[in-house]
Structure 1
Amino acid sequence: MRLAIFDEYRLGVITGDTVTGETVADVTDALPWPHDPDPLTAGWWRRLCRDFAGVRDRLASAAASATPRPLSSVRLRGPVLGPSKIIAAASNYAEHVAEMHGVQERTLGRVEPWMMEFDAFLKAPSAIVGPADDIVLPPAVLAAGHEVHHESELVVVIGTGGRDIPASAALDHVLGYTIGLDITVRSDGDRSRRKSYDTFSPLGPWLTTADEAGDPADFDIELRCGDSLRQKVNTGAMLTPVPAIVAYASSVMTLVPGDVLFTGAPPGVGPITPGDVLHASISGLGDLHIAVR
């Protein structure tokens, strides 16, 4: 099932396809608990992440009977609401680690060896935006001459959550997947700050639940900036696969329903400038188009 959050933070199921035309069916009223339209207190979404298996059938039934609306007639939001945290994996593709030596030499004048090792760090949830928004480059960052880079990534949304989740059971704790852009200022300073500016975590266009998405070790990721192909990789090239990322993160902090995990940047990261339009795609998960200003 493909779940979307749209307009005044309503819940939709994406119907149709790229051939017949994708539409959205409003299934908000099928939720068995109150819908709070305030994105800051949207406990209904976190409850849906936790209890999705129990409401899946009623959402599917509501989608089948609803009058579908063209996607062009709604405002797609980021397909998550109020996560307690965004966890991001660092240095998870060997070719990206290799390219970062040159990036750091150019932007920092040195290589930071510790940043070439796999680890996890936090990003601010307030950085999340959706397909209808823009990436806004901070004027002070541009004035200082710092590069701002795109990083297209597979993003995991946690379902049931937990602590010390074994890798063998990790995928049972995943609600689904979406496309994410981890926008990054290349400068000195903490990763979390450089990746947490408002609008620096675009997500979308919707969330595809794990039962429909397929194997997270076999997704094709592409990113184009305008007509230029920047990134192209299969998630099978991850150094630390999705189950191990979930297990590692949960060994440090309790994962709760609705938490968001960025799984690491593929090779091909590069600068973005005002006026650019980014087009990120992941096989089976859709396409995310977003402008830069």
Structure 2
Amino acid sequence: MKLAIFDRNRLGVVDGDRIRDVTGALPFPYDEDPLTAGWWRRLCRDFPGLRDRFADSPSRPLHEVQLRAPVLNPTKVIAAASNYADHVAEMHGVQERTLGAVEPWMMNFDIFLKAPSSIAGPGEDIVLPKDVVAAGHEIHHESELVVVIGRGGKDIPVDVALEHVFGYTIGLDITVRSPADRSRRKSYDTFSPLGPWITTADDVPDPGALTIDLTVNGETRQHVHTGDMITPVAAIVAYASQCMTLVPGDVLFTGAPPGVGPIVTGDDLHTSISGLGEFRTRVR
């Protein structure tokens, strides 16, 4: 099932080029305010028992609605670093050019946090910070598979970790290449575009069997198979839960594939993941 958030934070089911408003089928109070939208986390946690409620409702053309980011006020945005071998290799050259030296510790897999306020919807522009541009720092795209946590937990065993996933979406982890901490360089407003919707986990039998593509102004920049991850999705979820309790609705970027590169004002980015959808965003 493809679940979207649209217009005034309504919940919709996407069927092809149409969307059905299923907000009224929720068995708990709905609040359109994203800061108090506890219904969203309850949906992530309880979805297996709610799916049948969304089977039937009137639909309308998808182009008539405005798609929003498909998550609401997650308690945290977790991101994996150095999770594709070819990206680790290319980062040696990127760091030599942008930092003047390679930081060896950054070449190892790990996780870090991004600000939830960096989340943007699939149709929103990526806004480059004026001070960063003025300082001459490169700002890069990173197109990634993104996990949304369903049933949360702490110290989740890797063999059941995928049972704790609500669904998957597409994300861009926009990154400033500078000496600053990862969390700062990746947390500017609009630096985490997500969309176009969440494909629930029961419709993604193997998150390691997907293809990620990104073009900039029509030029292919990234093309990779998620099976090339150093640490697969289940292991990332388990690893993150060893450090912090995962809460329903939390967002987890699974790592940048190779092919990262700079973006500048006026660029048009198109990203897609097989079976999950696609979206386009511009840079200003």
TM-score tier, shorter chain, comes to over 0.9
Displacement, 1:213?
A: 2.1
User: Secondary structure of 1:36's partner?
Assistant: coil
2:79–2:111 Cα contact (<8 Å) kept: yes
AA aligned opposite 1:204: G
AA aligned opposite 1:45: W
With normalisation by structure 1, the TM-score equals 0.96
Structure 2 match to 1:270? 261
Question: Structure 1: how far apart are the matches of 2:100 and 2:19?
Answer: 49
Moved over 2 A (4+): none
For residues 103-142 of structure 1, the aligned pairs below 5 Å read 103-142=94-133
Structure 1 match to 2:156? 165
For residues 1-293 of structure 1, the aligned pairs below 5 Å read 1-16=1-16, 22-60=17-55, 64-66=56-58, 68-293=59-284
User: Secondary structure of 2:49's partner?
Assistant: helix
Displacement, 1:269?
A: 0.1
Question: Structure 1: how far apart are the matches of 2:203 and 2:189?
Answer: 31
AA aligned opposite 2:19: V
User: Secondary structure of 1:114's partner?
Assistant: helix
Report how many aligned residue pairs link the two structures.
Answer: 284
AA aligned opposite 1:9: N
With normalisation by structure 2, the TM-score equals 0.99
Question: Structure 1: how far apart are the matches of 2:280 and 2:213?
Answer: 12
Displacement, 1:132?
A: 2.1
Per-residue Cα deviation, 1:183-211 (whole angstroms, up to 9, x for no partner): 00000110000000000000000000011
AA aligned opposite 1:223: L
Question: Structure 2: how far apart are the matches of 1:200 and 1:227?
Answer: 21
AA aligned opposite 2:131: A
Question: Structure 2: how far apart are the matches of 1:25 and 1:134?
Answer: 26
Per-residue Cα deviation, 1:48-78 (whole angstroms, up to 9, x for no partner): 0001011110012xxx331x22221111001
Give the fraction of aligned pairs with identical amino acids, expressed as a percent: 73
RMSD: 0.6
Per-residue Cα deviation, 1:102-125 (whole angstroms, up to 9, x for no partner): 000000001000000000000000
Question: Structure 1: how far apart are the matches of 2:106 and 2:123?
Answer: 33
User: Secondary structure of 2:35's partner?
Assistant: helix
Structure 2 match to 1:19? none
Per-residue Cα deviation, 1:83-120 (whole angstroms, up to 9, x for no partner): 00000000000000000000000000010000000000
User: Secondary structure of 2:161's partner?
Assistant: helix
Displacement, 1:81?
A: 0.5
User: Secondary structure of 1:273's partner?
Assistant: coil
User: Secondary structure of 1:79's partner?
Assistant: coil
> Where in structure 1 are there 5+ consecutive unaligned residues?
17-21
Per-residue Cα deviation, 1:148-176 (whole angstroms, up to 9, x for no partner): 00000000000000000011000000000
AA aligned opposite 1:277: D
Question: Structure 2: how far apart are the matches of 1:255 and 1:65?
Answer: 32
Displacement, 1:177?
A: 0.2
> Where in structure 2 are there 5+ consecutive unaligned residues?
none
User: Secondary structure of 2:32's partner?
Assistant: coil
